[in-house]
Amino acid sequence: MNHHPGAWGQPLPAHAQFDMFNPGQSYRQAPKAAPITHTQQPLVTGTSVLGIKYEGGVMLAADNLASYGSLARFRDIQRLHPLGKQTVIAASGDMSDFQWLKKELDSILREENGLSLTDSHPSLSPQHIYDFLANLFYARRSKMNPLWNAMLVGGWDNKKNESFLGFVDLLGTTYSAPTLATGYGAHIATPLLREAYEDKAGIDGKGPLLTAEEAEKVLADCMKVLFYRDARSINKYQTATVTSEGVKISDSKSVETEWGFAESLRGYGAQNQ
């Protein structure tokens, strides 16, 4: 009988000879070294998410589409997720990774919330959640097993009484700015968002910020341009606001679009030649 723990419950194969003088040298062969392969590729994906700071808060926007390649597969997916009363995250990239992340963060927040009853410690601030995400994304990329997302974290810091907006992606890259956008939006929406922001606040950001209405308007404009130009987008999106009052996630909405011009485009409308 081989008493080595590795052999418990394993019957001897018929041909095996047990070496009773070397019980440690199990008859079982050393496992064949196979390289650990993690790296996946995103399957069901969400496109850009946008964020902007405004007077008294921060506003995020994301459309409701989760694509399967070029197929508009799921058209009623929420990509904004509240975490407690002062933080919202918005995800582009792989939706299954985002789903897993939501579950993970919800369970951490639930535990923190439960413990806060007994030891009355303050709840996790947007900065805490952002740093956690940055550490997680960087650790996963360092294991060559990334979470395939680019995320925005928006929040309101009740202690400092100021808004928070941060970016983190699958490489663990992090940065902050008064306006942020991921993916295609980084190219198309960022210039529009920066222009709107700086027109009022100035390039040093010291002037007055946009009002909530103005912020919502500029986000709607950006979502419209993205819908025109981004083939992985849909004209149905939600916005989230975080203020000292808490988190609000809007119902789905859409923007007015005009496709009449397309009739005159060769390859789109009726062909006249």
Partner 1 sequence: MALFDQRPAYAHEPTVAPIEHRFSPYSDNGGTILAIAGADFAVIAGDTRQSEGYSIQTRYARKVWQLTDNATLATNGFAADGKNFVKRVKQRLEWYEHAHHKPMGLKAIARMIQTMLYGRRFFPYYVYNILGGIEEDGTGAVYSFDPVGSYEREACRAAGAAQSLVQPFLDNQIYFKNQTPAPGAEAFVPGRLPMATVLGLVVDSFTSATERHIEVGDGLEMYVVMKEGRQTTDLTDEGQLPAGMKVEELGSMGEGRGEKTFLVSMPLKRD
Partner 2 sequence: MSSIGTGYDLSVSTYSPDGRLFQVEYANKAVEAAGVAIGLKCTDGVILATERLLHSKLLVKGANRRIQSVDDHIGMATAGLLADGKHLGSRAREEAGSFRENYNDPITVQILADRLSGYTQAYTCYGSVRPFGISTLVAGVDKTGPRLFCIEPSGVHYGYRATAAGKGKALAKTELEKLLGAREGGIGVKEGVDEVARIIHLVHDDNKDKDFELEMTWVCEASGWKHAAVPQELLVEAERKARAALEEGMEED
Positions annotated as catalytic residues are 39
Which of 113, 145, 176, 211 is the binder for partner 2 (CB under 8 A)?
113
Which of 41, 120, 257, 273 is the binder for partner 2 (CB under 8 A)?
120
Q: What is the DSSP letter of 51?
A: E
Q: Which residue has the tokens 């309101």?
A: 156
Q: What angle do CA 151, 103, 168 make, to 5 degrees?
A: 15
* Chain contacts with partner 1 (rule: CB under 8 A): 39, 41-42, 138, 141-142, 144, 146, 167, 170-177, 186-187, 190, 203
For residue 109, the surrounding DSSP H or E stretch is helix 95-119
Find all residues with CB under 8 Å of 109, minimum gap 6, and list them: 83, 84, 124
Q: Decide if residue 110 touches partner 2 (CB under 8 A).
A: yes
Shortest separation between residue 178's beta carbon and partner 2, angstroms: 34
- Show the site string, 86-105: x = touches partner 2 by CB under 8 A, - = not: -----------------x--
Its sign, for the CA torsion 185, 188, 192, 197, is positive
Q: Decide if residue 115 touches partner 2 (CB under 8 A).
A: yes
Q: Decide if residue 111 touches partner 2 (CB under 8 A).
A: yes
Check if the beta carbon of residue 110 is closer than 8 Å to that of residue 140: no
Supply the angle between the helices 184-201 and 212-229 in degrees, to the nearest 10: 150
Q: Decide if residue 16 touches partner 2 (CB under 8 A).
A: no
Q: Decide if residue 272 touches partner 2 (CB under 8 A).
A: no
Pick one of partner 2, partner 1, none as the site partner of residue 229 (Cβ within 5 to 8 A by kind).
Answer: none
Pick the closer one to partner 1 by CB: 12 or 144: 144
Q: Which residue has the tokens 């946009």?
A: 210
Contacting positions for partner 2 (CB under 8 A) = 103, 107, 110-111, 113-115, 117-120
